[in-house]
Homo-oligomer: A and B are copies of this chain.
Amino acid sequence: MTVNESGGSPAPASRSRRRRRDAEENSTRILDAARQVFAAQGVATSIEVVAEHSGLGLGTIYRHFANKEALVNELARQLLEAAVDLAERHVASGEDALRQYLWDVAELLGSQPGIIRTIWNFPGSETLTARSRTAQAGLLRRAQEAGSVRGDLVPEDVAVALFAVTGILDIGRAAAASGWQRHLEAVLIGWGTSGPGLRHAPLTAADMDDIISGSGI
C-alpha cells in the first residue's frame, strides 16, 4: 500500500483540547479498512462491513466522516494525490520517464480497483487534476525532446491512455495485470516516431475540462 496520509476529520480549532491520539489513529484505521474492503468487494459494499473490518463501531465511522460519500472521496483524493506525486517525482528526475510513469501509475491504480472509477471526478479534484496535467505535459515534452515519442502528441493523449488502463483494470482482477502492460506497450509503439502519423485529432484541453468536471453519469 503506497497511499496514506493525514486523517479524514477536520483539524480541531487551535484553541481547546488537542485531538485524542486514539481518534487520530482510528481515522487511518477506518481509511485502511475502507481501502481494503472497497478494493476487494467494490465501493457498493456497506459501511457496516467497513466498520467490522476496522474493528470499530458504525457510529465511529460517522464521527470521522460526514457520510459514506465523504469517506469514498477521501480515498479517491489520497489515491489521486499519490498518482500526482508519482508524476511530479518523475518530472523532477529530469529523465525521459514517460514510460516508467505510465507503468507506475497503472500499478498504483491497480492496487485500488473499485475506487479508480471515482478518482477523476470528486468534489475538489480540480487542483489535483490540474497538477496531474501539468506533470503529464512535462513528461510528454521531455519524451518528445528525447525523440522517444512523436511530436504531435498532446498531454490529453496521456490522460486518455490512463482512462484506457482504468478500463482494463476495472474488469478482471487477477488476470488484468498482464493485460494493461501489453496494451500500453502497443500504445507506446504507436506513439513512437517511426510509425505513420495519427489521423484522428486529439482531445482538446477544453474536452478534458469537460470530462473531469462533468457530473459523472
A156-189 interface code vs B (CB 8 A; 1 in, 0 out)? 1100110111111111111110111111011111
Q: Is the CB of B190 within 8 A of A178?
A: no
| Contact A201:B178 (CB < 8 A) given known A168-B164, A190-B186 | yes
Any chain B CB within 8 A of the CB of A59? no
Chain A residue total in the interface (Cβ 8 A): 56
11 contacts between A and B (CB under 8 A): A44-B217, A114-B217, A160-B168, A163-B170, A167-B168, A179-B207, A188-B190, A189-B190, A189-B192, A189-B196, A189-B198
Taking the closest CB of chain B, its distance from the CB of A6, in whole angstroms, is: 27
Contact residues in B for A181 (Cβ distance below 8 Å): 200
Other than A165-B167, A173-B214, give 15 A-B pairs with Cβ distance below 8 A: A42-B217, A44-B217, A117-B170, A120-B171, A156-B179, A163-B171, A164-B164, A172-B210, A174-B207, A176-B211, A182-B202, A182-B203, A186-B191, A187-B187, A188-B190
Residue A198 contacts which of B185, B202, B212, B214 (CB distance < 8 angstroms)? B185
Instruction: Using CB atoms and an 8 Å cutoff, list the residues of chain A in contact with chain B.
Output: 41-42, 44, 113-114, 117, 120, 156-157, 160-161, 163-176, 178-183, 185-192, 194-196, 198-203, 207-208, 210-212, 214, 216-217
